[in-house]
């Protein structure tokens, strides 16, 4: 059985094709990361959310117990 590391040295590790492929795909990966990680900020929100003490909240006439 051939070890994977030995086979990789025989085949070629990180050649010109891999470098060119990496350079051409990097801009697209930068764009896609905003789409993927943006979902974290869009879909995840706290179940119970209240702002800190704010004069606008007190203007509605709610007591602290009602808030």
What does the mean pLDDT of the chain come to?
A: 76
Residue ranges covered by each domain of the chain? 4-58
Interval 41-48 mean pLDDT: 72
Out of 13-17, 34-38, 55-59, pick the least confident.
55-59
Retrieve residue 5's tokens. Answer: 């590391």
Asked whether the beta carbons of 50 and 67 are under 8 A apart, the reply is: yes
Residue 20 confidence (pLDDT) above 90 = yes
DSSP 61: T
Structure confidence at residue 67 (pLDDT): 61
Q: What percentage of the chain reaches a pLDDT higher than 90? A: 10
Classified as helix, coil or strand, 64 is: coil
Structure confidence at residue 33 (pLDDT): 84
């Amino acid at each position: 059985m051939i070890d994977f590391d030995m086979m990789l040295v025989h085949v070629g590790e990180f050649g010109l094709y891999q470098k060119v492929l990496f350079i051409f795909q990097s801009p697209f990966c930068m764009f896609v990361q905003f789409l993927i990680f943006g979902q974290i900020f869009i879909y995840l929100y706290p179940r119970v959310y209240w702002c800190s003490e704010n004069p606008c909240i007190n203007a509605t006439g709610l007591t602290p117990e009602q808030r």
